[in-house]
Amino acid sequence: MNLMLNMTGVRKTYATGAVEVEALRGIDLQVSAGDYVAIMGPSGSGKSTLMHIIGCLDVPTSGRYELDGSDVSSMSEKQLAEVRNRKIGFVFQSFNLLASLTALRNVELPLVYAGVPATERRERALAALAKVGLADRVQHRPGELSGGQQQRVSVARALVTNPALILADEPTGNLDSHSTAEILDLFAELNTAGRTIVMITHEADVADHAKETVHIYDGLLREQSVGVGAAK
């Protein structure tokens, strides 16, 4: 099967003052195209560090990481920016929308950095917003939208570049149960349509929506368990 994400022996060490902290101590993780994986772990487990490396926001100290067939473990900052732009769609816990921009402009942003012409950009952003059910909210600014709507805007932003991987970091952490259900339904829908999704969470009932769950503890992956998502 085609591997979208292939990590072997990934380690990450931080130097905090004189003390070296080993956040990741040899991670092996494979995610196939079309997979929906939840990564679970308590705080301090190395969960965020793993998410940063998966998202190409940071590079491993050692080990190998291939994303969609290309080795990203030794790329320059500029190359990493391009990989993030083209291959990864981020969904953050705190939405991370720019408050001064409309929903449409927020969704257009990754396309702006990809150098997509204005008309095509607009069309694609409108289509992505329609896909998340916000076709009637495109000119609203984040402040004028509910939390669930804001998170749907950021999902639209993650989708708009047609990325190889959607990386969600605690996507429901700031949402009420209704909006949580909405977003998780949206992810399920996207996964059914063939999207690869990696979701970091610490809530078991959220992780249950994924096809597979991996647990991280003290910088090591413990087990891979199959969630209810796979049964569907």
Binding site for another protein (CB under 8 A): 52, 55, 57-58, 77-78, 81-82, 84-86, 90, 92, 94, 96, 98, 100-101, 109-110, 112-115, 157, 161
CB 73, min distance to another protein, A = 16
Which position has the token pair 């402040």? 143
- Going by C-alpha positions, the residue among 179, 181, 182, 183 that lies closest to residue 166 is 183
CB 56, min distance to another protein, A = 9
* Contact between 110 and 157 (Cβ < 8 Å): yes
Between 160 and 213, whose beta carbon lies closer to another protein?
A: 160
CB 215, min distance to another protein, A = 22
Between 219 and 229, whose beta carbon lies closer to another protein?
A: 219
* Contact between 32 and 2 (Cβ < 8 Å): yes
Q: In the chain, at which residue ranges do the beta strands (DSSP E only) sit? A: 3-16, 19-32, 36-40, 62-67, 70-71, 88-91, 165-169, 196-201, 212-217, 220-226
CB 25, min distance to another protein, A = 19
Between 56 and 183, whose beta carbon lies closer to another protein?
A: 56
Between 4 and 51, whose beta carbon lies closer to another protein?
A: 51
204 phi and psi angles, rounded to 5 deg: -65, -40
